[in-house]
Amino acid sequence: MTTGRAVTVRRRAAVIMLCAAALAPTGCLSAPPVDNPALVRGADCIENPVLVSPGQPTAASYKEVFEKALDVLDDYFEIQTPNPYDGRITTFPRVAPGYEQFWKRGNPDPRQRLFATLQSVRQTATVEIRAGERGGYLVYVVVERELEDLARPIRATVGGAVFQEIQTVDRQVEVVTPETTGDRVWFKVGRDYALEQEILRRIRQCK
């Protein structure tokens, strides 16, 4: 009886040691908890702001950088009145395209693109251009994301009746301005870092 109990104790000790060995490497290398808001950037991420056109700032180089930023931003958004004297470009809010509008430029992250397919999301971009301390220009890009406050998102299909009384085709316009929002309520849900990175990469190609 004593021998059998000793064998059982040794087996339990061995199991505990194996479990500890399996869990040990995952201590500090595990993913951050869900409530950790820290942004984990990959090795290929671009600094924001990004340094463009390094060298002594001139009127010609500034014009080139500003027009490049304006041209890139125009591929995604409808531009408000640009202000080259202030070095700032702002856009009107637009409804973020999902997979149903695959031909339109949008968030390159597949999960965020799917999210925009199922939810009512809109984006607004701002670009600021400042002279760098050591030459060149610093281009700062911010893309804010907003979610529509609805009991049931416009684009959602889960839970809908088989025979719907509303049209199944989403015909809402892409540009959302104060005149077209009506009583629709939007609230901020953070920045669109993936789209910011895509815009920064294209602006950085400016020669």
Beta pairing partners, 94: 123, 175
- Provide the pLDDT for residue 132: 87
The structural domains of the chain, with segments of one domain joined by +, span 45-152+171-207
- Pick from 72, 41, 56: which is nearest to 139 by CA? 72
Amino acid at 75: D
Angle among Cα 79, 175, 46 to the nearest 5 degrees reads: 55
Question: 36: which residues sit within 8 A by CB, 6+ positions away?
Answer: none
CA-to-CA distance for 62 and 129, rounded, in angstroms? 9
- Provide the pLDDT for residue 179: 40
Averaged pLDDT in 10-residue chunks for the chain of 207 residues: 52 49 39 40 76 83 92 94 91 91 85 87 94 89 90 52 46 46 78 93 80
- Provide the pLDDT for residue 197: 94
- Provide the pLDDT for residue 43: 54
Residue with tokens 């002279």: 131
Question: 124: which residues sit within 8 A by CB, 6+ positions away?
Answer: 77, 90, 91, 92, 93, 94, 143, 144, 146
- Give exposure, 100-113, as e/b (b: 16+ Cβ within 10 Å): ebeeeebbebeebb
- Provide the pLDDT for residue 35: 39
- The phi and psi torsions of 197 (rounded to 5 degrees) equal -65, -40
How many other C-beta atoms can be found within 10 angstroms of the C-beta atom of residue 205? 9
